[in-house]
């Protein structure tokens, strides 16, 4: 029996898995009879210009992102210096000296706002700010921390979200129409900034207890307890690793302040 007859009678193909054409070769042809494997796609001038424009746009976004990051670093550095200056109010014995330090801090806040934050708002003008939010939200957290610490020292009250929003509104005096500038403030950024003030309040409370001023320490405990209970009220609405970490740190600071009375 021949091989062909054996294949027919058994119903099995001896060429199974062996295509009619060799793999890796496309023998299809176009209408002109030319093999399509030889056809090469070319870009039109319009398509090339589109890609050039895409490249320019991406470069501009990246450059703007880096400029905002640089401004954010400057904001953080200056806010840390302001916080350090505010801590010096504990070491000053006279009310006039404390008032002078607070006035100097207020002046430095205005410089941060009018120079650095205003420039950031100009960079973000008429753009989707949430595209760049990761380049400046960490600076706003530090700014909110410093502002919240300053407000506690001056009034003993909590810094409100609306107050920060107002501080991030500007008028561009360089233009004839005095167009309005602003920075987006995500609610989570505001809450994270308030979390950070717990560490500064803890240091202040321990310093006050060491100097025998327990009244200020009691006010700090009440302030932090109220703030912590407000965060606890949110429950699991915000559940991120950073939120959990800052919540635990804030709670630890609160407990250390409370234990400082028992030292």
Known binding-site residues equal 145, 200
Q: What letters, b where the CB count within 10 A reaches 16 and e where it falls short, cover 138-171? A: bbbbbbbbbbbbbbbbeeeebbeeeebeebbebe
Dist CA 246 CA 252 (whole Å) = 10
List, in order, residues 6 or more apart from 88 with CB less than 8 Å away: 101
Question: Known binding site for Mg(2+): residues?
Answer: 145, 200
| Residue from 244, 240, 142 nearest 197 by CA | 142
Question: How does DSSP assign the chain, residue by residue?
Answer: --HHHHHHHH---TTTT--SS-TT----B-TTS-BGGG------HHHHHHHHHHHHHHHHHHHHHHHHHHHHHHHHHHHHHHHHHHHGGGT--SHHHHHHHHHHHHHHHHHIIIIIIHHHHHHTTTS-GGGSGGGTHHHHHHHHHHHHHHHHHHHS-PPPHHHHHHHTEEE-TTSTT--EEE----HHHHHHHHHHHHHHHHHHHHHHHHTT-HHHHHHHHHHHHHHHHHHHHHTTSS--HHHHHHHHHHHHHHHHHHHHTT-
């Amino acid at each position: 029996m021949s091989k062909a007859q054996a294949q027919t009678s058994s119903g099995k193909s001896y060429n199974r898995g062996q295509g009619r054409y060799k793999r890796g070769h496309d023998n299809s042809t176009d209408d002109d009879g030319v093999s399509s494997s030889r056809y090469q796609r070319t870009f039109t001038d319009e398509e090339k210009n589109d890609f050039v424009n895409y490249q320019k746009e991406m470069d501009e976004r990246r450059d703007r992102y880096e400029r905002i990051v640089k401004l954010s670093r400057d904001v953080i550095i200056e806010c840390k210096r302001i916080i350090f200056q505010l801590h010096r109010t504990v070491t000053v014995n006279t009310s006039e000296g404390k008032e002078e330090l607070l006035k100097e801090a207020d002046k430095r806040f205005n410089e941060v706002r009018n120079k650095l934050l205003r420039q950031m708002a100009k960079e973000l003008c008429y753009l989707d700010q949430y595209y760049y939010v990761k380049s400046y939200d960490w600076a706003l957290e530090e700014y909110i921390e410093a502002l919240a610490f300053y407000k506690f020292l001056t009034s003993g009250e909590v810094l409100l979200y609306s107050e920060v929003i107002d501080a991030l509104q500007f008028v561009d005096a360089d233009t004839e129409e005095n167009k309005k500038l602003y920075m987006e403030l995500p609610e989570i950024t505001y809450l994270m900034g308030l979390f950070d003030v717990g560490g500064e309040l803890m240091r202040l409370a321990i310093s006050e207890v060491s100097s025998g001023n327990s009244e200020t320490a009691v006010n700090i405990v009440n302030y932090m307890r109220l703030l912590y209970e407000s965060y606890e009220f949110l429950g699991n609405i915000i559940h991120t690793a950073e939120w959990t970490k800052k919540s635990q740190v804030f709670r630890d600071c609160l407990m250390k302040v409370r234990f400082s009375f028992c030292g």
